[in-house]
Structure 1
Amino acid sequence: MKNNIKDFRAIHKYTQDELAEKLEVSRQTVISLEKERYNPSITLAFKIARLFNCSIKDVFIYEDE
């Protein structure tokens, strides 16, 4: 699933390590999310949106295949 995590991370000036710590995940998870290799659980998607103070739809782009 396409996402804007890297863009939001840059806006908030978080490193991958800082974002991982705030989300309570590994840095590897953040890397996988940013490279769109991993789709987060709904719980993690909500945590990401809440951290960036936006909606899930602002962070994740759903494309019907």
Structure 2
Amino acid sequence: MTGFGKIFIVIGVVFIIIGLLWSFIGKLPGDISFKKGNVTFYFPIVTSIVVSIILSLIFYFFGKIK
């Protein structure tokens, strides 16, 4: 495989993992959500932290493999 092939595979796997995580942990306790009339504001801070930790671990292990 070329360098670009590996990069595309890693990007695809990351998107699949993000999609699966988002469907399971879409709204964790600690995420900020306000609703007033027709306006809804949602800031998934805890979800973002969890996804960041998981992605950091994935990239750490991929870096160790090379």
- Structure with the largest fraction of strand: 2
TM-score (norm 2): 0.31
Q: Which has the larger radius of gyration?
A: 2
Which structure has more relative contact order (CA 8 Å, sep 6+)? It is: 1
Query: Which one has the bigger helix percentage?
Result: 2
TM-score (norm 1): 0.31
